[in-house]
Structure 1
Amino acid sequence: MKLFLKTKDFSVSGEPFELHWDEELDMLVTRPQPENLARYYESEDYISHTDAKKSLTDRLYQLVKGKNLKNKLQIVENQLDKPVNLLDLGAGTGDFLILARDSGFSVVGVEPNDRARQLAHKKGVELQTSLEDVSGQKFQAITLWHVLEHLPNLEEQIKTLVELLEKDGVLVIAVPNFKSFDAKYYRTHWAAYDVPRHLWHFSKTSISKIFARHQMEVVKIRPMWFDAFYVSMLSEKYKENKLYLISSFFVGLWSNLMAIFTKEHSSLIYILKRRE
């Protein structure tokens, strides 16, 4: 694999990392990949595990989160005739599962982070620690909201997910898109690289090729419009731009406008089903 970009962990350790391009899959791979990844999640700034509302960035994230959750659930519901059993991998503090449960789904969540599981427990949601805890079960819908890029042993994990999926089930995966305008604009400072927590960086080609190995195909792709603004805001903060709110708004807006033509949004939701 060829060296694509040198960057660093801006949010926790400050350590340098490299992104290497897998030409066959059109995918970037983080190098090196630390053995003890858990310590890179030990930060008050890792909002998916905290429900934090301390900073302006936190409050903006939480403000939009509710609407995003409804949009995510609507996408899942559109693929099914009725609410069914749903597995959410990387469930965080459980908010998506709560919404799905209240909408009639039978829900199961997996979240390896202990702190996030404790917060979910306080909300009345009991989460499992790993996919091994749900082995033998079958689900008609499995969701991974910005989770696939975090998973070590990628092929093995995908194999397990496909085995957990009902024959006519749907797999819904949201990931950042390194082909987007904001990724190209920010390069080293693009917050969605989020090394080393993000081990893999996907394109449309890589998602299609990787899942084809497991007899799965992409049937639909949906954009995540807000991500361009949020990722740009974090990226501007990494650049130490005091006017980060203004700058990120215009970069995020331009990225979304460009994506209308290129279809390369900052983040994409892939809907996958088994090949017939």
Structure 2
Amino acid sequence: MSKEKEFYKNLHPYLNCIDYTVSNESYEVMHNKEYDMLVTSPLPSNLDKYYKSEDYISHTDGSKNIFEKTYQLVKSYTLNKKLKLINSLKTDSKTILDIGAGTGDFLKTCKEGNWSVFGIEPSVDARKIAKQKKINLVDNLELVYDKKFDVITLWHVLEHIPNLKEYTNNIKKLLKPNGVLIIAVPNYKSFDANYYKEFWAAYDVPRHVWHFSKTSINKIFNEIKMDVIKILPMKFDSYYVSLLSEKYKKGKMNYINAFYIGMKSNFKAKRNLEYSSLIYLIKNTK
């Protein structure tokens, strides 16, 4: 039996979640004990339609309300932190591929920091916005197969990829020897995930196919001979996710309780390192 078939054979019910963004459909979130990883089931065949919502903020530059304005403000701060992170890496040159580049803000920041930038973004609307910023994106990975990169980034993207094994193998082929893959994903082992349970916004079914733990990320990349060399927290995510989770659970954004849960999650994570979202630096060592 293949590893993939064995993975699906060993799934057990974990939670039942609702798509609060687009369809209001219900999905099972199933657990694989060996990988300590969750998977959304069943997966719709037409996933693209589940991204067509004005609430899907990463595909817009919206700042119409206090929530969107706060998101854009935090994004500006985190973009500089991300640039500082990639500048800290010892690379042969400065070529970067951002997969799931959205409206191009991260690559624009990298370009201004003297990186040679390339980006993948399936959303036509997001690519149009990026082009206005002089960031030209392509719509799929095959269009950069002839290139090699020092750094590849996926900021909250890996959880969206249905064909995970094939995709991670293709990413590895695009990295230079000793190149670094940086991925950021939600962490379902965090305090805020356990507090909100089926209302936790970072489950985001069915757009989020996979729900990772540190164990699962290590196992997935060890299988393709890549090593996790560092794990970093994304401390703002606990507040953002808690705010959306409050809306899903109670029908409105309770800013005070969201701030309290977000702060409590970060406080607990100081001891167990289970932050709401985690950044993994993964080296192409073999």
Q: Which TM-score applies when normalising by structure 1?
A: 0.98
Distance in 2 between the 1:67 and 1:243 partners?
A: 23
Q: Secondary structure at the match of 1:239?
A: helix
Q: 1:206 aligns with which of 194, 213, 216?
A: 216
**Paired positions, count:** 276
For 1:100-149, what per-residue CA distance to the aligned partner results, in whole angstroms no more than 9, with x for missing partners? 00001000000001110011011111101000110121001000000000
Confirm or deny that 1:247 pairs with 2:261. Answer: no
Q: 1:16 aligns with which of 26, 42, 52?
A: 26
Q: 1:186 aligns with which of 196, 201, 219?
A: 196
Confirm or deny: 8 A CA contact 1:83 1:103 kept in the other structure. no
Confirm or deny that 1:270 pairs with 2:270. Answer: no
Deviation at 1:73, TM superposition (A): 1.5
Runs of 4+ in 1 over 4 A off after TM superposition: none
1:217 — aligned with what? 227
Q: Which moved more, 1:83-92 or 1:182-191?
A: 83-92
Confirm or deny: 8 A CA contact 2:91 2:150 kept in the other structure. no
> CA 1:169–1:82 in 2, change beyond 3 Å: closer, same or farther?
closer
Q: Please give the residue correspondences for 1:17-36 in structure 2 after superposition, counting only pairs within 5 Å.
A: 17-36=27-46
Deviation at 1:274, TM superposition (A): 2.3
Q: 1:259 aligns with which of 263, 269, 283?
A: 269
Q: Secondary structure at the match of 2:227?
A: strand
Distance in 1 between the 2:226 and 2:257 partners?
A: 39
Q: 1:6 aligns with which of 10, 13, 16?
A: 16
Confirm or deny that 1:227 pairs with 2:227. Answer: no
Deviation at 1:81, TM superposition (A): 4.8
For 1:11-32, what per-residue CA distance to the aligned partner results, in whole angstroms no more than 9, with x for missing partners? 1110000100011111000001
Distance in 2 between the 1:149 and 1:79 partners?
A: 24
Distance in 2 between the 1:168 and 1:245 partners?
A: 43
Q: Secondary structure at the match of 2:122?
A: coil
Confirm or deny that 1:48 pairs with 2:55. Answer: no
The amino acid of 1:266's aligned partner reads: S
The amino acid of 1:254's aligned partner reads: K
Q: Secondary structure at the match of 2:250?
A: coil
Distance in 2 between the 1:19 and 1:55 partners?
A: 32
Deviation at 1:164, TM superposition (A): 0.2
Q: 1:165 aligns with which of 175, 181, 185?
A: 175
Distance in 2 between the 1:121 and 1:275 partners?
A: 34
Q: 1:139 aligns with which of 149, 162, 182?
A: 149
Confirm or deny: 8 A CA contact 1:77 1:83 kept in the other structure. no
Distance in 2 between the 1:122 and 1:240 partners?
A: 38
Q: Percent identity?
A: 51
Q: Secondary structure at the match of 1:171?
A: strand
Deviation at 1:241, TM superposition (A): 5.0
1:155 — aligned with what? 165
For 1:14-65, what per-residue CA distance to the aligned partner results, in whole angstroms no more than 9, with x for missing partners? 0000100011111000001111110000000000001111222111101111
Distance in 1 between the 2:254 and 2:59 partners?
A: 24
For 1:188-244, what per-residue CA distance to the aligned partner results, in whole angstroms no more than 9, with x for missing partners? 100000000000000000000000111001000000000000000000011235461
Structure 1: gaps of 5 or more residues: none
Q: Secondary structure at the match of 2:236?
A: helix
Structure 2: gaps of 5 or more residues: 1-10
Confirm or deny: 8 A CA contact 2:91 2:179 kept in the other structure. no
Q: Which moved more, 1:70-79 or 1:152-161?
A: 70-79
